[in-house]
Structure 1
Amino acid sequence: MADSRRRLLLDVDTGIDDAVALLYLLATPGVSIEAITCTAGNVGARQVATNNLALLELCGHAGVEVAVGSEVPLTIPLVTTEETHGDQGIGYAVLPPPRGHISGRHAVDVWLEAVRCHPGQVTGLVTGPLTNLALAIRAEPDLPMLLKGLVIMGGAFNYPGNTTPVAEWNIHVDPHAAKEVFAAYEGLPHGKLPVVCALETTERIECTPAHVDAVARAAGAGRELLDPDGPAGARSSSDNAVVACLSDALRFYMEFHRLYDQGYVAHLHDLFAAMVATGEAGFEERLATVDVETESSLTVGQTVADFAGMWKRAPNARIVSGNEPNAVFELMVRRLSHLARIHG
């Protein structure tokens, strides 16, 4: 009988929106998380791993392997963003110290074993800097063809950056790695090209207090009210552990966006990318050849897409050009409320 599971291999820098994406994946029937590899980005790689272990245990999936890869970018110094995601990376959320341990394997070894043992069956999902993936491709240049597919959250195309005027966070943390990854995909068949979820579509995924309340109510956990005008630092009083984790993480993220006059919302970039990886999110796409600026101090980390073929180079990316935020949140509420009913 054919294996109908959707095998996913995650590389993350958890991160509030990475955490919400992981909760969604753990709640989605038919999804098999082969392993989670960790890179430095939102916080350091060891803290990322701790966050993933704790979230897995919260949701009853303690057996998933969590491995650390490179703890610094390929070439430039590491910069993290605790001001955006909190000192631990998951906002105000506090989870029990995980009982599980970080794998003894390096992230690159995890990726190589997964694609070699299951060629054409594993979809990669990268929601952090591309450091580990670049190292894995260095070790196995055929990795792009061995994967079933790849989804990347990163970049900004003809759209303002969220880290510099032109650069998105994940790419800016390690632009050299991103440049190597896109170069490795140039000229491959359409189905093998990475689906790139960039800011122009991921910033449309604006989570509001009403979405959090909807998860809580659908889970039978009562109301969960996040006050857009409330003081910073409030905590959830929910007895449901999943709802409280979600609420406390997203409250921090909403306060961050409010501080920068973006509204009391949370951009769930990685949740959308996860839904693309599972095949549950509809989207439109445009083929392009993508390159990444690594030299200019003014525009380092900028992702440049040639949609018109001016460079006379083969496409290396499928850039998401349209999505459906309402459908994303309907699915989020359904999946996360079910998870909260079971594990809350």
Structure 2
Amino acid sequence: MDVDTGIDDALALVYLLSRPEVTIQAITCTAGNVGARQVALNNLALLELCGRQGIEVAVGAEVPLQIPLVTTEETHGPQGIGHAELPLPQQAISPRHAVDVWVEEVRARPGEITGLITGPLTNFALALRREPELPRLLKGLVIMGGCFNYQGNTTPTAEWNVSVDPHAAKEVFAAYRGLPEEQLPLVCALETTERIEMRPAHLRALAEAAGAEDPELVLPDQPEGLRSGSSNPLVACLSDAIRFYMEFHRLYDQGYVAHMHDAFAAAAAAGRTSVTARLATVDVETDSPLLIGTTVADYRGLWGLPPNARIVTGNDPDQCFEELISSVGALAAGLRTGPARC
């Protein structure tokens, strides 16, 4: 996992921890939603909350390749986890750099590792500079990023992860040009990830799946910043984080919902949610001040270049939420009860 945790990254991580058939080999951290070191602390604290210490968490790029870093605490909160307050983790950040983790782990296990990138593509672009064979050495790659014939969530044409480091995204897509279809990255872009709208009823269902004693009520008429009273520590943490995300979406007239972009990408990477995809040749605009970060897909071969991506064109939000709630709920049910604070 390469992440910029982040509320929806947090749910993606917890979901993958809940899947018994999934082994998280390592977590690499890049600056995006918050700074890279805060991302690492968030991941380590979430691992400890879920009883999964021992997974390597490494810091990578702390700035984009060519442009200044912009973070988005207004979207994800001062720590990146909304209203939740994560304690400082006991496990230390890895001494390895994220690029070393990417290259060394994939070289050691050719054809075995699926990469999941839910933040800016900076770390992976730097890893490709070090080892250009990574696309052939990986079992697969899933990217949450971009938007195609769809409004951006950062500029009118650009999605957040790509807009943070468009030059990295451009390098990554170029590295996959001409590879066999089965090796091309699966791209989960806004037109399908924004269909994964988490609502108050989903949080209530999550608490029920976890066996929590009281209903988990995150409702639009409640005061902003209200903290969960759940005795289940994971339910309380996710509830406090996601409430912040719902408040943010409401502020921008999108309703009292939370778009779980990264959780969908994680379920797709695990092969646990249905998707349809379409081959395309993708490029990223890096020069125009008006359009920087725009992802462009050529579906018809007009550029005369081979495909370099499989763009998700269809998904099933109801099935995806059934998967997320049942799996994360089962993980939460196995955690001891404690103070209603993350």
Q: TM-score, normalised to structure 1's length?
A: 0.97
> How far apart in 2 are the matches of 1:315 and 1:175?
19
Query: Aligned ranges for residues 244-255 of structure 1 at < 5 Å?
Result: 244-255=236-247
CA deviation digits over 1:125-160, x for unaligned, max 9?
A: 000000000000000000100000000000000000
CA deviation digits over 1:152-174, x for unaligned, max 9?
A: 00000000000000000000000
Query: Aligned ranges for residues 1-344 of structure 1 at < 5 Å?
Result: 10-221=1-212, 222-344=214-336
Indicate the SS of the match to 1:109: helix
The unaligned stretches of length 5 or more in structure 2 are 337-342
> How far apart in 2 are the matches of 1:285 and 1:165?
24
Q: Which amino acid aligns with 2:95?
A: G
Indicate the SS of the match to 1:343: coil
Indicate the SS of the match to 1:33: coil
> How far apart in 1 are the matches of 2:289 and 2:209?
48
Corresponding residue pairs, total: 335
Indicate the SS of the match to 1:296: coil
Q: Which amino acid aligns with 1:11?
A: D
Q: Which amino acid aligns with 1:274?
A: A
Q: Which amino acid aligns with 2:119?
A: G
> How far apart in 2 are the matches of 1:301 and 1:229?
36
Indicate the SS of the match to 2:222: coil
**Aligned-residue offset at 1:201:** 0.1
**Aligned-residue offset at 1:95:** 2.1
RMSD (Å) for aligned C-alpha atoms: 0.6
CA deviation digits over 1:196-221, x for unaligned, max 9?
A: 00000000000001000001012111
> How far apart in 1 are the matches of 2:328 and 2:18?
7
> How far apart in 1 are the matches of 2:86 and 2:38?
13
> How far apart in 2 are the matches of 1:144 and 1:337?
34
Q: Which amino acid aligns with 2:323?
A: L
Indicate the SS of the match to 1:223: coil
Indicate the SS of the match to 2:24: strand
Indicate the SS of the match to 2:119: coil
Please list every run of at least 4 consecutive aligned residues from structure 1 whose deviation after the TM superposition is greater than 6 angstroms.
Answer: none
> How far apart in 2 are the matches of 1:218 and 1:133?
36
> How far apart in 2 are the matches of 1:343 and 1:129?
32
Q: Percent identity?
A: 70
> How far apart in 2 are the matches of 1:163 and 1:335?
31
Q: Which amino acid aligns with 1:198?
A: A
Q: Which amino acid aligns with 1:264?
A: Y
> How far apart in 2 are the matches of 1:219 and 1:301?
40
> How far apart in 1 are the matches of 2:103 and 2:225?
42
Q: TM-score, normalised to structure 2's length?
A: 0.97
> How far apart in 2 are the matches of 1:50 and 1:135?
22
The unaligned stretches of length 5 or more in structure 1 are 1-9
